[in-house]
Amino acid sequence: MKNLLVYVSQQKHAECIQQLIFNWFTIYVCTSDQDACAVIDKNPVYAVLQDCDCAMASHFSLVRHLASDLLHTSLPVLIFSRNAEAIHHADICLQAGCSDLLIPPMTAQLLKKRIDNAVRSKESFTFTEIENILRELPSNIYLKDREGKYVFCTQYWHHIRGRNTPHWTIRGKTDLEIRKDKANALKAMESDKKILATGEGTTYVIEEKEAGVHEYLELIKRPTHDSEGNVNGIVALINDVTEKQLLKMELERRAKTDPLTGLLNKVATEGVIELSLEKFTRSDSVRHAALFMIDVDNFKMINDTFGHSTGDNVLRCVGSILHSTFSGKDVKGRVGGDEFMVFAEIENSTQANRIAEAICRQMEQAYRGSALEGKVSLSIGICIFPEVGSSFQELYKSADQALYTVKKSRKGSFCVASSR
């Protein structure tokens, strides 16, 4: 049973209360503020009932003490009197911070109901206070019920619809009703359903782009439980991790990128090509692609004769040509000192030939009229997917053999590997 503290000036004054509610509560009786505080400190007290004369004589000292103590500020104090004339003191009691004034006639059921209502009211008020305290934090903390609807939210971030409308509230609304980004709203609702069904929390990062603001938000979600251990809602924390995420992405990009040309490095190039091949292989329709192996002719001579700075500029020029020739979805990388590799979707081998011709021509034009005219060129070996090879190793081997043929016979040109 729940603990109830009855505070009276004399023990006998508590008898009427005890007789009414002894079936529902374990009752502690005390006759001083000191004794009352001792009971409250040692026991989880549900509510306090104080005799009206006793409270007024002490100028509501216990009420004021509990109100100033954050640990016990949610504990309601109800004033009771055996005299119906005490109704005249109602305003004084309520102004002092008391939750209710109980006067005759009182029945057991009515008394219990008034006590329960006072507790709920006090807890609700405390909940509101907690909301206000949490709003001082930069993070967004929110609570949802078992249907995934918002109970409260400490911050209204800018990608919410309707937040600037007068008297607008998030309470009772779903993500789909308030979020401008429907994809993120659906993702949030799906993760909520899983949490409510399994009782397992989750953490993930979303990307938001709204009104020129680009940010990344980390959501940490955990289930809440009722007194019997059943999942009854979700509590979550939203942190702005934009700087952290951008730094992470930049570090990942650097780990995968050749700093000189801005193309992918060898490991990243081969890895992405293999992923692309898996996607092409699983496709319902036949898709064609080409693997280009590109080599800078006479690169050692250029470095030895004109210096490494000039050699670096030549490599940058190749990178620029590949960036402008191929689309963002094509895989472009530097895989060796003067070796490059591109994997691009094509319609047919004729298109691959035109691309190779254009690359060789652009490289020649880039140095026309300079000291490197006639000395810098590109040789290209090409393998067509899936006609000549279907795996990365097959494509690489065939394209490399075609490149060898070009380097041996006619530098500055290209060669397409023969069909299997």
pLDDT reading at 214 higher than 90: no
Q: Please answer whether residues 233 and 255 qualify as being in contact, where contact means their C-beta atoms are separated by less than 8 angstroms.
A: no
What are the extents of the domains in the chain?
2-133, 140-245, 257-416
What's the whole-model pTM score? 0.54
Rounded mean pLDDT of 194-221? 90
Q: Give percent of the chain with pLDDT exceeding 90.
A: 66
Domain 140-245 has CATH 1.20.1080.10: no
pLDDT reading at 177 higher than 80: yes
pLDDT reading at 381 higher than 90: yes
**Strand bridging mode 2-7 / 25-30:** parallel
Residue 125's contacts (CB-CB under 8 Å, 6 or more residues apart) are 74
pLDDT reading at 138 higher than 90: no
Rounded mean pLDDT of 374-401? 94
Hey, what are 113's tokens?
């109901």
Q: How confident is the model at residue 179 (pLDDT cuts 50, 70, 90)?
A: confident
pLDDT reading at 191 higher than 90: yes
pLDDT reading at 163 higher than 70: no
Rounded mean pLDDT of 113-120? 92
pLDDT reading at 162 higher than 70: no
pLDDT reading at 31 higher than 70: yes
Domain 257-416 in this protein, CATH class:
alpha beta
Beta pairing partners, 3: 26, 45
Mean pLDDT score of the chain, rounded to an integer?
Answer: 90
Q: Is residue 91 exposed (0-12), middle (13-18) or buried (19+ Cβ within 10 Å)? A: exposed
Q: What is the pLDDT of residue 399?
A: 96
Q: How does 105-119 read in b/e, with b if 16+ C-beta sit within 10 Å?
A: ebeeeebbebbeebb
Question: pLDDT digit string (tens) for 339-361?
Answer: 999 999 999 999 999 999 999 99
Cα dihedral 179, 184, 190, 191 in deg (nearest 10):
-100
Q: What is the pLDDT of residue 17?
A: 86
> Which overall architecture, per CATH, does domain 2-133 show?
3-Layer(aba) Sandwich (3.40)
Q: Please answer whether residues 27 and 13 qualify as being in contact, where contact means their C-beta atoms are separated by less than 8 angstroms.
A: no
Q: What is the pLDDT of residue 345?
A: 94
Q: Please answer whether residues 7 and 52 qualify as being in contact, where contact means their C-beta atoms are separated by less than 8 angstroms.
A: no
pLDDT reading at 286 higher than 90: no
pLDDT reading at 188 higher than 60: yes
Query: Same fold for the domain at 2-133 and the one at 257-416?
Result: no
Hey, what are 210's tokens?
């709204």
Q: Please state, in angstroms and rounded to a whole number, the distance separating the CA atoms of residues 294 and 336.
A: 10
Cα dihedral 199, 200, 203, 206 in deg (nearest 10):
-50
DSSP 337-375: SSEEEEEEEESSHHHHHHHHHHHHHHHHHHTTTSTTTTT
Q: How confident is the model at residue 420 (pLDDT cuts 50, 70, 90)?
A: low
